[in-house]
Chains A and B, each alone.
Chain A
Amino acid sequence: MANAAILPADPAIALQRARQGKSYWRRVWERLRDDKVTLAVIGVLVMLLIMVVFAPWFTVHDPYTGSVLRRLKPVGTPGHWLGTDEVGRDLWSRMVYGGRLSLLAGVVPVFLALLIGGFLGVLAGYAGGLLNSAVMRLTDVLYAFPSILLAIAITGILGAGLQNTILALTISFIPPVIRISESVTTQVRHLDFVEAARASGARPLTIMRYHILNNVLGPILVYATSLISICIILAAGLSFLGLGVTPPSAEWGLMLNNLRQALWVSPLVAALPGAMIFITSMCFNLMSDGLRQAMDVRL
């Protein structure tokens, strides 16, 4: 650390600082603070989140009422600064409201997969042996299908709709999360401090809680953030195929599908939902890269 050399002049403060010790997360935060790109990206995502949550404050027009008279207005039209879609609905309103479903369908499945897959993976990694083989072979079965195909198959069976999309995406993201958490846990499990914890007579769940979890959570979280961008794209893809959110709901993937026919009439308007998908998933990707770097603290 560069600022480690700067010691406070007051010995009392120096002593205080020495007493506290610098936790791992504190060092991660210090590194993150110096990473301008990651900070900017996190800023964009926070802004996006605020806009999406408080959508009525940021929009004038209703996202669901259109007018035949105002169909496919170009970007920059007075009153509709991003133009209108193929049934004359305000595109800005639909973009903001569409973010709600897109982000929901992008974040919730990853979060659920993180809970379920993380639990199973850490358990399998720590237990080893037969339990590990059982969990990992089952994972391999799911792994055999590319996640988009798996998601399409599940929504195909269950039918379209937001709930089914989330369910399908959760199931298709559980295997990679299991695999990552299992491999990280297996690495940690054989370290001496876990042996030492076993030697103190602690039960497996106690060891997992106090000694495994705090060592594996970082890498698993970083991996999960990188999944969010894929999940947003997959959710948009499902909607694009008509297997996800159903019209007239505003959702970026669905909007992209509907505006596809207008690509030759007003290409800029048609490309806007795609641009939003791109920006959001890019931001999540960059954030995950930044987190990965910040967490790679040499101890």
Chain B
Amino acid sequence: MAADSRVDVGDKPRRPAGGADACVSGAPSRPLLAVESLTKHFPLKGGLLNRTTAVVQAVDRVSFDVRTGETLGIVGESGCGKSTTARLLMHLIAPDSGSIVFDGLVVGAAEGGLGLRDLHRQMQMVFQDSFASLNPRLPVAMSIAFGPFVHGLAKPAALKRASELLEAVGLDPLLYANRYPHELSGGQRQRINIARALALEPRIVILDEAVSALDKSVEAQVLNLLVDLKAQLDLTYVFISHDLNVVRYISDRVMVMYLGKVLELGPVDRLYRDPQHPYTQALLSAMPSMDPRRRTVQAPLSGDPPNPISPPSGCRFRTRCPYAEGVCATMPPALLSPPDDKLRAVACHMLVPGSGHSRAAVEINA
């Protein structure tokens, strides 16, 4: 693993208070989770001898940090690698290359690293499909109690823990503990899923489209529950969604993904106010406006993203980018901070002086 340089064994407190504030003020805080050039390519098998005929580049050299106490939002169109990133973080699928460092420990490393069982105690996930993610043959309390039970708690104690968690997510354990998933509504089921994720007292929770399948009113309730739980339990969230409004509401920082690459990463206010990457600009202008005078007349982007099997050379967004030039096809842009804004990172040649893009020099000199 190439991330040893990032391993930090400083004796800072485990849970510095006000991680979110630290993020806003720009103070350096040690990342709870450091991801370094994470890559997952899915081979497509075919032909006579089951040979690999093509490769889907689901996640390609993605690097980012998650700071203690913050909520990192990940947005992007479907198929951009958001969910694969979540599964890679949880080690539900093994990455091809790259490293994940959790609280100073390399995940899955043979020596001095963090074992998967320990990782799963500290990192949990809520899935999008509230029904498919609960065992239909188990009462919900059993589903919640399963994690603690697996980690050595006796069954009665695990069930007691489950009923405490039910209370914590706003469901009366007397009424709901022995129900089956099909007897609950979508919002109630997602509360159960949240309770299940919290059962091991994790420090970070990955929410993979956790509210996307819910009705708007229920979605708001569940979002508020998530915010409350985060404050109560000092949690850190990675919040994956395609809903830009929800991400804006809940996130401290936002990461924009496109075809398995990170295009832009920055504090939520600044990123929404002043998007730097052309894709982020297009994405944000596609948000429905509440103000009829600012109605979007023209679709900012047309067509679908290119096939991730053979993504465009250089910058992956260039096929749909209005500013694409020759340099974009030849060289992939690196994720760099613009000179005037250290908190952000953008992967675009236009923002790099001397990159060869005609707009780059002009914008920097102006």
Interface residues of A (CB under 8 A from B): 15, 18-24, 191-193, 195-203, 206, 210-211, 214-215, 299
Is B151 an interface residue when CB atoms closer than 8 A count as contact? Answer: yes
Residues of A within 8 A of B146 (CB): 197, 200, 202, 210-211
Residues of B within 8 A of A214 (CB): 135, 137-138
The 29 listed contacts between A and B (C-beta, < 8 Å) are A22-B180, A23-B137, A23-B139, A24-B137, A192-B127, A192-B133, A193-B132, A193-B135, A195-B92, A195-B133, A196-B196, A197-B135, A198-B92, A199-B120, A199-B124, A200-B146, A200-B147, A200-B150, A200-B151, A201-B117, A201-B200, A202-B147, A202-B150, A210-B146, A211-B135, A211-B146, A214-B135, A299-B136, A299-B181
For chain A, what secondary structure do more than half of its interface residues adopt (helix, strand, loop), or is it mixed?
helix
Interface residues of B (CB under 8 A from A): 87, 90, 92, 116-117, 120-121, 124-125, 127, 129, 132-139, 143, 146-147, 150-151, 174-175, 177-183, 193, 196, 199-200
Distance (Å) between the CB of A50 and the closest chain B CB? Answer: 33
Q: Is the CB of A201 within 8 A of B136?
A: no
A193-B134, A201-B151 are contacts. A21–B90 as well, Cβ < 8 Å? no
Q: Is the CB of B129 within 8 A of A19?
A: no
Distance (Å) between the CB of A110 and the closest chain B CB? Answer: 24
Q: How far is the CA of A61 from the CA of B161 in the complex (A)?
A: 66
Q: How far is the CA of A200 from the CA of B133 in the complex (A)?
A: 13
Q: Is the CB of B132 within 8 A of A192?
A: yes
Q: Is the CB of A299 within 8 A of B182?
A: yes
Total cross-chain contacts (CB, 8 A): 89
Q: Is the CB of B150 within 8 A of A215?
A: no
Distance (Å) between the CB of B123 and the closest chain A CB? Answer: 8
Q: Is the CB of B178 within 8 A of A195?
A: no
Q: Is the CB of A21 within 8 A of B139?
A: yes
Distance (Å) between the CB of B222 and the closest chain A CB? Answer: 17
Q: Is the CB of A215 within 8 A of B135?
A: yes
Residues of A within 8 A of B124 (CB): 199-200
| Top 6 A-B residue pairs of the complex, sorted by shortest distance between their CB atoms | A192-B133, A200-B147, A201-B120, A299-B182, A214-B137, A21-B178
What would 16 more interface pairs be, CB under 8 Å, given A19-B174, A192-B127, A214-B135? A18-B179, A21-B139, A24-B136, A24-B137, A191-B132, A196-B193, A198-B92, A199-B92, A199-B124, A200-B124, A200-B150, A200-B196, A201-B117, A201-B120, A214-B138, A215-B136
Q: How far is the CA of A19 from the CA of B141 in the complex (A)?
A: 11
Nearest A residue to B200, CB-CB: A200
Residues of B within 8 A of A202 (CB): 146-147, 150
Q: How far is the CA of A20 from the CA of B140 in the complex (A)?
A: 12
Residues of A within 8 A of B179 (CB): 18, 21
Residues of B within 8 A of A20 (CB): 178
Q: Is the CB of B183 within 8 A of A22?
A: yes
Distance (Å) between the CB of B351 and the closest chain A CB? Answer: 38
Q: Is the CB of A199 within 8 A of B125?
A: yes
Nearest A residue to B120, CB-CB: A201
Residues of A within 8 A of B139 (CB): 21, 23
Q: How far is the CA of A21 from the CA of B188 in the complex (A)?
A: 15
Distance (Å) between the CB of B342 and the closest chain A CB? Answer: 35
Distance (Å) between the CB of B45 and the closest chain A CB? Answer: 13
Residues of A within 8 A of B127 (CB): 192, 195-196
Q: How far is the CA of A202 from the CA of B124 in the complex (A)?
A: 13
Chain B CB within 10 A, most for which of A191, A193, A206: A193
Q: How far is the CA of A199 from the CA of B116 in the complex (A)?
A: 9
Q: How far is the CA of A193 from the CA of B129 in the complex (A)?
A: 10
Q: How far is the CA of A154 from the CA of B139 in the complex (A)?
A: 46
Q: How far is the CA of A193 from the CA of B143 in the complex (A)?
A: 9
